[in-house]
A and B are shown apart, each in its own frame.
Chain A
């Protein structure tokens, strides 16, 4: 197991297009988080899954954003009708309850550029 993976690593799109990102967590990690990081800022929480259930969504997550985690394994984050303000690094993290104090392990991120 090589850790959390995210695809694609980079995505350039035009305003108004839809994009989808994928996150593959560490095997058997039952918790999965999405964060967004804009230039010069720390990551901000977007949403959280425990197994397949989406248990919390940030107010940052507008109606154009949707996340899924079917079967409690990989997760996808879709942004519809992208706007220039959506340009950011989207980070995924996973953790296992009871392991190392529920330490979150981060993926390399997907950098989105909206033109």
Chain B
């Protein structure tokens, strides 16, 4: 079974600084997706960034980038130029390669990292 581990329950960063959130996972599959989701307080979860396992190039979305190390099964999120609005719970998630037909594409989440941004 696949598992996702986030070893940092809480992190703090100064506004405008850079912070890195860690995530490791375990799987025997070769094709899969990895995600970082953001869950602000009392608000719904939104996708921050996605990485396809077959792509060697690390995904980037504006101030958010990942460091994907497939052999090490590591998937960290770097937030540059942190803003107050980045304060939230961040979840790392795994999903198998998109299944056609009836195969499920359920997400497997880590326990989350609560990020605080200090002004």
Contacts and interface: CB of A to CB of B under 8 A. Distances in A.
Interface in B4-62: 4, 33, 37, 43-47, 50, 52
Contacts of A106: 37, 44-46
B56 to A, nearest CB: 17
Interface residues of A, number: 28
A97 B99 CA distance: 9
B109 interface: yes
Interface residues of B, number: 24
Contacts of A50: 102
B105 A109 contact: no
Contacts of B108: 45
A28 interface: no
A53 B46 CA distance: 26
Contact of A103 (B50, B52, B91, B104): B50
A22 to B, nearest CB: 16
Interface in B55-111: 91, 93, 98, 100, 102, 104-111
Contact of A42 (B46, B91, B105, B106): B91
A43 B47 CA distance: 14
B98 A43 contact: no
B33 A45 contact: no
Interface of A: 3-4, 31, 33, 35, 40-45, 48, 50, 53, 55-56, 91, 93, 95, 97, 101-104, 106-109
Interface of B: 4, 33, 37, 43-47, 50, 52, 91, 93, 98, 100, 102, 104-112
